[in-house]
A and B are shown apart, each in its own frame.
Chain A
Amino acid sequence: MKKFFKSLLAKYILIIFTALFIMQIGFLIPVLFLYTGNQEENIHKANTIEKRWHEEANHLDGPTDKRILDHFEGWKQKYPESSMFWIDANGKLAAKLDVTEELPRNWTPSFTAQFIKDRYDDDPFTVIAFVGDRQEHGFIVFELPRSALYEDNVVGEKTVSIFALLIIILFIFISILFFRGIRKRLVDLQEAMEIRDADQLPVSIDVKKNDEIGSLEKTFNQMVAELRKSKHREQEEEQLRRELIANLSHDLRTPLTKMRAHLYTISKEDLSYQGERAVKITEESMKNLDRLIENLMSYTLLTASKLKFNPEEVDIIRQVRTSLASWYPLFEKEGFEIEVELSPFEENKWKIDPLWMDRILDNVLQNVLRHAKSGKFLSVKSESTEEFDAIVIVDHGRGMSNTSNEKGAGIGLSIVDLMVRKMDIEMELNSDNTGTVIKIKRKNKER
């Protein structure tokens, strides 16, 4: 119940009731004071007219047409809307002033009775009085439209109408204020809901009132808290997973390092041809195993979407050049002919994760080094068309369909594929027995 009184519904009901109440009061005050007052005044006015009409008729002894008409004129001045007539002792219509209705010239007793009956408490207000104190000169009739009697009352009704109108306007105004207040709070709430913190999570809102919007804000805050909790849990899990993989990788690499150490020691001994060959093969296998461990770890993290992805605006030409600078000596050592032609694109900044891009380039260049040794050629160029900007890497190896001496499960390429897709760029691969062309492309936005 307490909650109900704090609700917006309760407030609005209160506004409606207040408006109705004020309207009732607004109507009652005129009705009770003005209207009742007028009513009394009207009755009082009618009584006065009636009384005076009778009194003055009583004093009209020996009436002539002229005297009666003078009498009528006197009243006419006071009541301009009135009409009057005189029926003499013989029942004849002897004089009249401003009478508009059709009146018979001769009044029979039955017509007279009917006339009195018709006019009783009707409009016009009618007063009938016998002329002279002995009532032997017939009777005079005074007629006044009741509207003339209620003249003041019309003013009263106008006041009531204006008052009612004012109250309606006031009610509409208060309603508008009320809804405007609600709207403002909802808009504020919406804006507050759109704010994000460093973790890209919405932030809690100050709950100011205990009404429906207040409840909405509370629920929103609860959701934010739950979201935060779940994000935190997710981060913890991510951390654990990362830690586990890092430890696993460490534990696998430590014995590998020891093996390498001993192998190195052996290689320093005087070895037979067979021995040297065995050392070399073991060394190569260890290198492959190391790379596989690395790829497997990355792949596990990547497929579980746990590999950190931090896209930023990266100068792609610069990144490719830096990557090439570190790979160059290796290609040089293998006797590769290297062509590098990197000219800036119109839009040089790509929204990518630089570490991921390095990874992709490393993978591609490593593949050239491992599988396309026979071609002894590497070219890295920039290519720009209407549709896309691309980094084009060409080798003259025997192509990807031909098996090279170093086969793998293709896990490296799977990683590249996943990364490329996530970064919204494309990788096009064309390979035949004269070489392989790889294009790392970014579609151009409409120029």
Chain B
Amino acid sequence: MVRLLYIEDEVDIGKWVTKNLQEKGYEVEWNQSGEGVDSYLSNVDLVILDVMLPGLDGFSLGKRIKHAKQTLPILMLSARTAIEDKIEGLRFADDYVTKPFHPDELSARIEVLLRRFSKSDERIDIQHLTINTKDLQIFNRETGTEILLTGKQYHLFQYFLRHLNQILTKEQIYEAVWGEDFLEGDKTLMVHIRYLREKLEKDPAKPVIIETIRGIGYRVKK
């Protein structure tokens, strides 16, 4: 079970969020201040932090946690919406959600973060595929065979899975996967997407797994 550490001083909000997350199947440890958080760090999978806290504020606390454990994702949940606050927060945190928020948005973002940090051992079903996100094993449920990808295809698909349901621009994908600046007119990405579709899609001419969002980029939807 995924364990979350949630630090929030507002009792009403704290109770409500805890209850909601528990309903969604998470184990939640809710603290009203940052005191003694160090003892939890080794056995939680994600930290949700408010900014305005008694004692040590959320920014300082977040930095300390990130410093202590690089691989622990931090989600800031704050009523401070100024862009400066978001920028300050995103220097160390992995996501920044502003209050008021919808509980479904919060859990969606938690899911994305867990996937990004490979904290969830879930198996994702996309169309006729079942994907084990931890070791990125892809199975075709219909034929019962495993689909093997080459290095670049693997990176590309992994990047899509980490940003499941998000529309990714061509520039964004190319720069993340190839680590170089994207040059307008470069066909490399298109070619690799085609190869990937040939392996994953039932009908590569009518792709349903890797969607083309015309004029913008691509998306893999769960």
Q: Chain A interface (Cβ within 8 Å of chain B)?
A: 242, 245-246, 249-254, 256-262, 264-265, 286, 290, 294, 297, 308, 318, 321-322, 324-326, 328-329, 339-342, 344, 355, 380
Using A325-B169, A325-B213, A340-B215 as known contacts, say yes or no to A253 and B79 having CB atoms under 8 A apart.
Answer: yes
Partner among A250, A259, A261, A328 whose Cβ is within 8 Å of the Cβ of B216: A328
Partner among A242, A249, A264, A341 whose Cβ is within 8 Å of the Cβ of B16: A264
Which residues of A sit under 8 angstroms from B24, Cβ to Cβ?
A: none
Nearest CB in chain B: distance from A251 CB, A:
8
Question: Is A261 within 8 A of B16, CB to CB?
Answer: yes
Q: Is the interface of A mostly helix, strand, loop or mixed?
A: helix
Taken together as a complex, chains A and B put the C-alpha atoms of A76 and B51 apart, in Å, by 123
Question: Is A254 within 8 A of B169, CB to CB?
Answer: no
Nearest CB in chain B: distance from A92 CB, A:
125
Question: Is A253 within 8 A of B100, CB to CB?
Answer: yes
Q: Chain B interface (Cβ within 8 Å of chain A)?
A: 10, 12-13, 16-17, 20, 51-52, 78-85, 98-103, 165-172, 184, 213-217
Nearest CB in chain B: distance from A288 CB, A:
12
Which residues of B sit under 8 angstroms from A321, Cβ to Cβ?
A: 169-171, 215-217
Taken together as a complex, chains A and B put the C-alpha atoms of A260 and B101 apart, in Å, by 8
Question: Is B79 within 8 A of A308, CB to CB?
Answer: no
Partner among A254, A329, A339 whose Cβ is within 8 Å of the Cβ of B79: A254
Partner among A242, A258, A322, A380 whose Cβ is within 8 Å of the Cβ of B12: A258
Which residues of A sit under 8 angstroms from B10, Cβ to Cβ?
A: 254, 257-258
Q: Which residue of A lies closest to B215 (CB)?
A: A340
Nearest CB in chain B: distance from A384 CB, A:
14
Question: Is A242 within 8 A of B81, CB to CB?
Answer: no
| CB-defined A-B contacts under 8 Å, sample of 5 | A250-B52, A258-B16, A297-B82, A339-B214, A339-B215
Question: Is B16 within 8 A of A254, CB to CB?
Answer: no
Question: Is A355 within 8 A of B168, CB to CB?
Answer: no
Which residues of A sit under 8 angstroms from B166, Cβ to Cβ?
A: 325
Nearest CB in chain B: distance from A89 CB, A:
128
Partner among A294, A297, A308, A325 whose Cβ is within 8 Å of the Cβ of B168: A325
Question: Is B215 within 8 A of A341, CB to CB?
Answer: yes
Nearest CB in chain A: distance from B69 CB, A:
27
Additional A-B contact list (10), CB under 8 Å, known A260-B101, A322-B169, A340-B216: A245-B82, A246-B84, A250-B79, A251-B79, A258-B12, A261-B13, A308-B83, A321-B216, A322-B171, A340-B215
Nearest CB in chain A: distance from B60 CB, A:
16
Question: Is B80 within 8 A of A257, CB to CB?
Answer: no
Question: Is A246 within 8 A of B82, CB to CB?
Answer: yes
Q: Which residue of A lies closest to B172 (CB)?
A: A322
Taken together as a complex, chains A and B put the C-alpha atoms of A380 and B102 apart, in Å, by 29
Question: Is A257 within 8 A of B168, CB to CB?
Answer: no
Using A325-B166, A325-B167, A340-B216 as known contacts, say yes or no to A265 and B16 having CB atoms under 8 A apart.
Answer: yes
Taken together as a complex, chains A and B put the C-alpha atoms of A290 and B171 apart, in Å, by 33
Q: Which residue of B lies closest to A256 (CB)?
A: B100
Nearest CB in chain B: distance from A344 CB, A:
5
Question: Is A254 within 8 A of B99, CB to CB?
Answer: yes
